[in-house]
Amino acid sequence: MFTLLMGMGTTFVLAMVVSSTPLWMLHFVMDALFLGFVAMLVRVRNIAAEKEMKLRLLPQPAVRPQPVPAFAMRRSATN
């Protein structure tokens, strides 16, 4: 974000000093990139907020389930 802001400021100052059409076009491209980046940040924030609103954790069981005995986890097939 700061890089885009610095690029916008630099191209604006250069376009004002030199009064060159390509520099103005570059400045407008930097403006468009900055606006696109900010729009993307707002969209990501809104998606995260919506996900947080909709997310509902399952209730924890009152009693923890007993671990499965080790012999039940052995493979029943022979090699």
In this predicted model, what pLDDT tens digit does every residue of 21-35 receive, in sequence order? 888 999 899 999 999
The rounded mean pLDDT for the chain is 83
Alpha helices in the chain (DSSP H): 2-18, 21-54
Q: Which two tokens stand for residue 53?
A: 């609103």
- Report the alpha-carbon distance of residue 4 to residue 21 in Å, rounded: 20
- Report the alpha-carbon distance of residue 20 to residue 64 in Å, rounded: 72
The stretches in the chain having pLDDT less than 50 are none
- Report the alpha-carbon distance of residue 4 to residue 40 in Å, rounded: 14
Q: 14, exposed or middle or buried, with CB in 10 Å at 0-12, 13-18, 19+?
A: middle
Q: What's residue 60's pLDDT?
A: 73
